[in-house]
Structure formats: C-alpha cells, structure tokens
Structure 1
Amino acid sequence: MDLKKTLTTPSWHRTLVLRRIIASILLGIAALMFVHSLIKQDPQVVVVLQDIAAGSKVEATDIGLREIPSPHLPKNAFTTEDDVIGLVAASTLSSGEIATKPRFVGTELINSVVSNVTEDSLSEEINMVPLTLAEPSVIPLLQHGDTISVVSQDSDSGLPETIAAGGKVILAGGDDPSTILIALPKTIAENVAARSLNTPLAVVLTGDRAHNNIAEE
C-alpha cells in the first residue's frame, strides 16, 4: 500500500482505509490473545475430593488434581498428590478444599500456630508431644491452634499443679481418640512427656478462644 498516495486521497477515503488498518490490527491482537489463552494452562493443585476427618491419614482416593487460576491459588498449596498421601489432617477437611500445608500435621502447621510460646523460650526448638488425657471427653471441645495449659494434681497437697503453660494444640484426637498432640519448647515438652508416664494429666483452655467464650457468655 502506498502510504503517500493514501494520505493524499480525499479525507473520507483516507479515513476508511485507516479504519480498515486499525480493524486489522485489532483482529490480529484478538487472534493472538485467543491463541495464548488456548496455550496457557492454569496451575494444577491438590484438591480434597471427599471429607477427611481430623486425625485421619489421607488416602489416594481422597484427593485429586484440579486447575486453579493463579490469582486464586493459596499460599503453600500442594501441587503433587504424592506429597499429600499419608499426611494426617489436623482438622476436618471439606470436599472441594484446596490442600495446603498448614492443614496437616507437620512443620508448616507448627509454624502457623506456634508463636511466642514463652518469652524465655523464643530461641528454643519446638517439639510435639502426644498427650493422653485423664478425661478424654474434653478433646472434642479442642481445636488445632488452641492455647492450653497442662495441669496435674500435686501428690502431697492434692492441689492443682500447672506443668506447662502456653502450649498449642496441633491435633485433637486422631487414631487414638484419648490423645492430643501439643507443641511446646523442647525442655518443657520433655518434662510433660516424663510426667505423663505416671501422672494423670488434664488441660485447661486458655488464650483468645477461652476469653472470647467467656465474653460471649
């Protein structure tokens, strides 16, 4: 096309030609975008296919892969089924939920719920302790992330004795419905584990959820 000749033609003709050129460019852009949308694939993540109870191990039939648009992709989402199979659900997982690391028992979950267990233990390694309670009927009332104190009865005075404060519930119930899994600084966790061998233990719910429940009442 002779651009010089086009620009010297009558204005209405020139306008028509320019419109056709612009229309061709827009059609070309639209075609490129369409082809790009066909080629581009959303990332695949692991999704729960059926409800998984808290404390249950994930089976291959419980999960599958689904494409999720990047803007809706949660942080710490699993992208491989093999990484999820065999993990223990920290709380009930609902069908259709995207599997993320803090929803399962492990380091990610501990990091998400444990912060400043005690000011004196910020630099101390955090350990998980399975704890069999003297009164397991309270376990269904606990939720992962709850702050608790571990208490017992003083053998001499018979009065309540706090063994550990500021513990975090990692798992309430599971394969053993009388057991909870809690996170504590290493030295405190070892003391609780030792005391649990020959002393009946109980827990007291503290922290924000306990205060909120009192306020609501």
Structure 2
Amino acid sequence: MADIPPFLSSLRTPGWRRAVFLRRVLAVVLLLAALGLALRDAGAGAPRALVFARPVTAGEALTRDDVALVPVPDPLLPASAVRDPAEAEGRILAVEAAAGEVVTASRFIGTDLSNAFVGEITTIVPVRLAEPEILPLLRHGDSVTILAAVPERTETDVISTGGRVILVDTRESPGTLLLGLPEEEAHAVAAASLSTPLAVVLSSPLPK
C-alpha cells in the first residue's frame, strides 16, 4: 500500500490534530475569499477609462480594437484621460504608445496637444523636408528653426523659429513632419514650402 501523505494522515487521525488542520484550511479558504471580494469591490468602484490594448505607433489612426475600457484607480488616472471609446476612434496618435497605457487627449494630434506646449503655438502645419534623412533624428516636442534655401545664393533664410515637432511620420517615403507654430509663422512656412526646399535645425531638445 502506498504511503499516505502526512497532511492526509492528519485527517484520518481523530483528535486535536485533525481539528487544528481543518481550522487552518478553513482560515485559508476564508482569507482567499475575502481577498477575492476585496479585489472585486475595488475594481467595481474604480472609474473606468481607456487603455491601449496593443502597441500603437505614432501617426496611426486608432480603431475600436486598439483600446479597451477598464477600471483605473483614481491615483493613476490622468486628468485628461479618455473615457469614451467613440472619442478615441479615428484620432491620430502623435507619440507611440505601449499596451496598457492610459489614453489621454494630449496624445492625439489636435488642440489638446497644441495647448500642452508653452507659447503661442496654435496651428499645425505639415512640412516635407529637402533632406528627409533627418526625420528619424527628430522627436515629438523638439524645438526647431525652419530654413529655406534661396535660389542663386549660398545662404538660407530663416522662416520660423521656435516651432515644435508634433509628429514625425516616416511610414511613407519621403516622410512628413508636422510642426506646431503660431498662426502667422505657420502661414509663412506653408507658403515657402510651395516654392523652395525647407530644412530644419534642432534648436533644443525637449527636456527629459
């Protein structure tokens, strides 16, 4: 006959050992049940917000499958958290996101993102650079100066200073740079891009 494990032999032995063992098992069961109920109640009472259901790259338009509505504890919930999936669907992401991150309005291209920058940045303008090879070196939030080549001259003209990089989209060649600028400077950059190649100089990176 096979040996009986010690914890089973305790059940077959009458007396205080069996009673102690049963009380301990009951205590563990009750503790686990209480923990499960506490976790359930905590999840049910937490506000619900959207999180990214998968990694999303910058420049992508979100679909309903890219987000999930889950309970998020108050201390971890940003003020600009998006709570309605309809508000996120079709919006374009300015910065890549990891799965599980809370979706916030300032991550999307639009007025919320522009307002996140200090200054008079009110307009977003797309720019195709004369040297698109520089695009991978730029990051969201970088401050740049816009230069235009002058025909028959070796020097360049400064079109705008203090522009902020909103999005670097390299998914298609030659790639597009979205810049946040004051309205008047945005108009000047857009007009210059129609007739002359543009270049950017990195003024100062966004502080880490």
TM-score range, shorter chain: 0.7 to 0.9
Q: Which amino acid aligns with 2:144?
A: I
- Is the deviation greater in 198-207 or in 166-175? 166-175
Give the gaps of 5 or more residues in structure 2.
1-37
Q: 2:196 aligns with which of 199, 202, 207?
A: 199
Q: Is the 8 A contact 2:43 2:71 kept in 1?
A: no
Question: Normalising by structure 2, what TM-score?
Answer: 0.74
Give the gaps of 5 or more residues in structure 1.
1-33, 117-121, 213-217
Question: Normalising by structure 1, what TM-score?
Answer: 0.71
Structure-2 residue corresponding to 1:29? none
CA distance in 2, matches of 1:209, 1:70: 29
SS of alignment partner, residue 192 of structure 1: helix
Shift of 1:156: 3.7
1:77 aligns with 2:66: no
Q: Is the 8 A contact 1:78 1:84 kept in 2?
A: yes
Q: 1:173 aligns with which of 169, 178, 181?
A: 169
CA distance in 2, matches of 1:180, 1:55: 11
Q: Is the 8 A contact 2:141 2:206 kept in 1?
A: no
1:149 aligns with 2:145: yes
- C-alpha distance 76-157 of structure 1, shift in aligned 2 (>3 A): same
Q: Is the 8 A contact 1:56 1:174 kept in 2?
A: no
Structure-2 residue corresponding to 1:128? 124
CA distance in 1, matches of 2:105, 2:122: 18
Shift of 1:174: 5.7
- Is the deviation greater in 84-93 or in 168-177? 168-177
Q: Aligned pair count?
A: 168
CA RMSD of aligned residues (A): 2.2
Tell me the percent identity: 34
SS of alignment partner, residue 166 of structure 1: strand
